[in-house]
Structure formats: structure tokens, C-alpha cells
Structure 1
Amino acid sequence: GECFYCKRGYVNNCTSGGWMLGCRIDGGQAEYVRVSYADNGLTPIPDNVSDEQALFVGDILATGYWAAKISEIFEEDTVLIIGAGPTGLCTLECVQLYQPHNIVVCESDKSRRHFVRQHYPNVKVIEPTKCFDFLKSITDSRGADRVIEVAGGEDTFELAWRCARPNAIVTIVALYENEQILPLPWMYGKNLTFKTGGVDACDCDKIMQLISEGRIDTTHLITHRYPLSRIQEAYDLFANRTDNVIKTAIYPD
């Protein structure tokens, strides 16, 4: 709470820990975890919020909230979210808080497209090969005002900037296995603003408040539940993306 970043509200970048726990420091899913400076990082759960409602606050929901916040969304905007996995859906929950004119979700997986249509009937859902032309058709050929890239696929970074209109904001949340190229000559004249970085979990108190008020609900993302004794099954299910899994929750036996 006293370093350069903590004093400026960037607790996630604390020089004594922050995001490094579970990323650079192993052990985030061990039987027991010692959390350094936990008095600066814990968020109380209100009495009217269940454990399942609070489950994603410190990770993927914080990512989605941060992505939506830094994208500077206005009500007249068309917002494109690339990727409808767990983080993409949490991003969708938070983008809805800003009530933009159009929300478009681009997803390659058929079952996930169905999931979005089922739970978010006011959201437009499209597959990647049709995304560019679809955005042109609903924006007078301009493209998306805001693009949030959450997929991290082989071609999704290029898709993100291509689908953005001139002077748009492109927010990169995705983690990539390979380096991405910023082909400046190709995008000359688009005058894009790129925003990216690791998840900023500094708004957990605000997110918990929004859940308490009923403005965010991610419990429907938990499609499977397992006792701790069957956690390997849960890992296998999630890793292989079988049975239309979105997210699993683990409970004590």
C-alpha cells in the first residue's frame, strides 16, 4: 500500500506482489496459499452476495470491468467484443453497464454463439468470417467505435483493428502465445488508439457493489460444478472444452 503504484491506485502493479502471485509466483491453485499483504488486497463479500456470485470478482470479472472502463464507451457507440469465452462474457456483462447503441459479439465456436443468444437476446452475435461485413452494414460502413479483443486467437488481433472505424479505441485483453505485429503502413490514416495490459483488479469493491445491487450477474457462466475430490475431471472437461462448458466451480467434499 505504500509503493509508487499503490499510492496512485494501481495496486495490481504493486512492486511487492500484485499480479505476480499466480503469474510469476507459482502456487495460486495449491492446497494452501500464502497471500502477501492480503490486508491490502481482500474485498469483503456483502451479506446478500453468494459465494457463486462473488466467485469471478478477483479475476475474469475484474478483467472485463477494467476492459470496459478503459474503452471509454458512449451510449451512441457500437462495441465489438471478440471472444465469448468466460472472460469475454464477463466483459460483455460490464460493457452492458454503459448501455451502448449496439453490442456485437464475435465468436468462432457455435455452442458459445448459442450461449450468448440464449442469455443475451439484445446482443448481436456473429462468426469471424462475417464480422467485418456485418459491422459495416450496421454502422454506415464505418466499423466499430470500440473493439475489445478477448479471444487471443491466431488472427483475432488483426480482426480487431480491421473492424475498428477510424479514430476508434481498440482494447487488447487477450493473452497471445505468439508475438503480434502492428502493421502501421496498413492502418495508416485509421488513427487508432490501442489500450492493453494485464488485468487491473483495483475495482473489486465497485464490482462487488454492482453485484450486490443486481446490476451484474455471472452465475449463469457456471455450467458445471464438481466436488474437490473430482477436480481432475473438472480440469479435463475445461481443458478439452467438452459438454459446452463455460466455467466450472469446485466445492469442498
Structure 2
Amino acid sequence: EDEEQKALYAKYFPDGGGSIFTFEINGGQAEYVRVPYADNGLTPIPDNVSDEQALFVGDILATGYWAATISEISEEDTVLIIGAGPTGLCTLECVQLYNPQRIVVCEADESRRRFVRQHYPDVKVIEPTECLEVLKSLTEDRGADRVIEVAGGEESFELAWRCARPNAIVTIGALYETEQILPLPWMYGKNLTFKTGGVDACDCDKIMQLISEGKIDTTHLITHRFPLSRIQEAYDLFANRSDNVIKTAIHPD
């Protein structure tokens, strides 16, 4: 750690506990972890929920739950999810809780499109190049009522607002490497509401309850499993998106 990071960490966590987005206690991916103030920061796992069922609650599933919640989805809506990576799939799980009239998933990668079709047969799966035209045909030329962008690309950001109908809500759950621009003259008359920000992970207890009740299940996202001694291999597989990986789970040796 450099001196600037140490100073910021000391400023935000004088007692050595908690975390913010980029400053946290090292050692989270180890066989044993000491968590300061665990009685305040952790969510108990119910007896009927396995470790793998609970694995994504504190991160990508919390992101998907947050994105679905702030999108104000109704049963009459057509919801477009852009991106079918792990976060997009967790978002899909949570969008289904609201029983919208139609869910459309837009994904560039063919293997991920196959994955969505296999596990979510009631969801319409499309490619980015056909997204606008398909949505028009599905919605009588209006566009999506709710758009949730979790792909994180420059083209996907533009696609999100282009696919939204007038007065729609566009929720940004993605992280971007560069600044994104709102071309307001092109959007004139669409009257869009954009919602974005850091994920609110305060609903982990609610998510855990939904898993316990069988209303959310993300275990099928775990396509590969590794012992802790092979964690570097797991990282390499995930980073290179080899062997149609979605998520890897690390188990004790």
C-alpha cells in the first residue's frame, strides 16, 4: 500500500474496521478471515441455505437487487437488461421478483446468450445489433419501460438510453472505465430518468430470506469450482473468460 492509501484508510477507519469501495482490509480470499465488528457488518446464513446459495449475496446479488428495486418495475413493464454476465444474471433473478410483463436480455457473447436461454426459457434473448428493432416490434414501437445497464461499455451505455421509451427509467448498475456523456440534444423529448450510484448492500438480510424461501437461486451461475490451492488458476480462467465460465467458487482444500 502506498502512503496516500494508508492515510485515507486511517481517515475513514480509525478503529481498523469496515470498508468503503476501494479501501478495505486485505485477506478476504483466504481460508480464514477475521472480520472486525462482524456483529454489525455480517448477515447470518439460515440453516436451510448452503454456502454456495449465499455466495453472491454480499456483492453481485446485492447489486442486482438494488438495481431492480430502484427501477420501480411494475407488472405491465417491458424490462431490458443489457449484459448477461454474472451481475446481469443476478439482476435478472431480482427483476423476476416483480413479475414484469416481459423481460428482454441483450448480450453480445453467444455462449452467455445460450446460458440465459437454457436457464431462463421465458426470457427473450437478443444481440446488441438487433436490440432496437426487436424492442420496437415487441412494444408497438415504444421501447423498453425500464432499462438496466450492467454491461459497462461505451456502446452499451448509448444502447441503454436509445432503447428506452419516452418517460422510461434507465438504471445504471455498471462500472465504466471512462467517462460517459449524455448527448442531451439527441435525447430531446424522451424525458428519461437516470438512476445510478454505488450499490446499497443494506438489504442482504432480505436477499438471504428470499433465497431461504426459494425465490432466488443463483447456484447455476457457478460453472466452475476450485480448491483454494488452485485459486490462481480460477482467476486466470475467469479473467480470460475461458471454457464458457460464468462464476467460479473456491472451496477449502
Instruction: Give the alignment of 1:20-99 within 5 angstroms.
Output: 20=20, 23-25=22-24, 27=26, 29-31=28-30, 33-99=33-99
Structure 2 counterpart of 1:104: 104
The structure carrying a bigger helix percent of its residues is 2
CA deviation digits over 1:158-207, x for unaligned, max 9? 00000000000000000000100011111011000000011111100100
CA offset at residue 28 of structure 1? 5.5
Matched-pair contact (CA < 8 Å) for 1:62–1:207 = yes
Structure 2 counterpart of 1:133: 133
CA offset at residue 27 of structure 1? 2.0
Give the residue type in structure 1 aligned to 2:202: C
CA deviation digits over 1:195-250, x for unaligned, max 9? 00111111001000000000000000000000001111100000000000000000
Matched-pair contact (CA < 8 Å) for 1:27–1:33 = no
CA distance 1:184–1:115, change in 2 (3 Å): same
Distance across 1 between alignment mates of 2:248 and 2:29: 17
Matched-pair contact (CA < 8 Å) for 2:18–2:37 = no
Matched-pair contact (CA < 8 Å) for 2:171–2:196 = yes
Matched-pair contact (CA < 8 Å) for 2:19–2:25 = no
Structure 2 counterpart of 1:121: 121
CA offset at residue 41 of structure 1? 1.4
Distance across 2 between alignment mates of 1:141 and 1:28: 51
Give the residue type in structure 1 aligned to 2:84: A
CA distance 1:224–1:167, change in 2 (3 Å): same
Structure 2 counterpart of 1:245: 245
Q: Say if 2:168 is the partner of 1:164.
A: no
Distance across 2 between alignment mates of 1:85 and 1:211: 20
Q: Which runs of 5+ in 1 are unaligned?
A: 1-14
Sequence identity, in percent?
84
CA distance 1:19–1:182, change in 2 (3 Å): farther
Matched-pair contact (CA < 8 Å) for 2:18–2:24 = no
CA offset at residue 39 of structure 1? 2.0
Distance across 2 between alignment mates of 1:30 and 1:122: 36
Distance across 2 between alignment mates of 1:102 and 1:30: 38
Give the residue type in structure 2 aligned to 1:27: N
CA offset at residue 126 of structure 1? 0.2
TM-score by length of 1: 0.90
Cα RMSD, aligned residues only: 1.4
Structure 2 counterpart of 1:204: 204
TM-score by length of 2: 0.90
Q: Secondary structure at the match of 2:201?
A: coil
Q: Secondary structure at the match of 1:202?
A: helix
CA offset at residue 37 of structure 1? 3.1
Matched-pair contact (CA < 8 Å) for 1:169–1:195 = yes
Q: Matched residue pairs, number?
A: 238
Give the residue type in structure 1 aligned to 2:86: P
Q: Which runs of 5+ in 2 are unaligned?
A: 1-11
- Kindly report structure 1 stretches of 4+ aligned residues shifted beyond 6 Å: none
